[in-house]
Amino acid sequence: MDWEKVLMLLRALHDHEVEYVLVGAVALNIQGVVRASRDVDIFVRPEQQNVVCLREALSQVFPEDSTIQEITAEDLAGEYPAILYTSPDGSLTLDILSRLGEAFSYEDILFEEKVFEGIPVRVATPRMLYNMKKGTLRLQDRADAEVLKQEFGLED
């Protein structure tokens, strides 16, 4: 994952006023918990105008990629509300979600705005990240939850 492309994406999301929340390992890093990642995970509001803004943001970063126009609000609001986007040059993989099963939807994600590398970023709160990770089967998620619990003094 190209960190410069991540920063360009975060800037474009802000510039195009996308309603999103950063979750996953990149969110952990912005919250101060250093962890490597191969992708960027975001929750987005699955409404038509917001998805138009998302496509504009992605097109700002990857203007040569016409497949961005295939991302739709209908897909994000549908039965399988996740889209995996990989840039044509392979420099960025983005998991675009509007919900995770019945557990979490965009509306459920508590976030705060932080300034990261001079860019305003909407990032899930440490408590939200902890709640999202603590009960999963993935060992990495449970390890992340434990670090969040220790780092931020979180209780169950």
Quick check: is 51 in a domain? yes
CATH number, domain containing residue 14: 3.30.460
pTM of the model: 0.93
> What does the pLDDT look like over 12-62, one tens digit per residue?
999 999 999 999 999 999 999 998 889 999 999 999 999 999 999 999 999
> What does the pLDDT look like over 59-112, one tens digit per residue?
999 999 999 999 999 999 988 899 999 999 999 999 999 998 888 999 999 999
Quick check: is 82 in a domain? yes
Strands 40-44 and 93-97: parallel
Quick check: is 27 in a domain? yes
Quick check: is 13 in a domain? yes
Quick check: is 152 in a domain? no
Distance (Å, whole) CA 10 – CA 99: 20
CB 147 within 8 A of CB 136: no
Residues 121-134, buried b or exposed e (16+ Cβ, 10 A)? bbbbbbebbbbbbb
Question: Quick one: tokens of 76?
Answer: 């994000």
CB 141 within 8 A of CB 103: no
Quick check: is 156 in a domain? no
Structural domain including 138 reads 3-145
- Amino acid identity for residue 62 in this structure: F
Distance (Å, whole) CA 39 – CA 41: 7
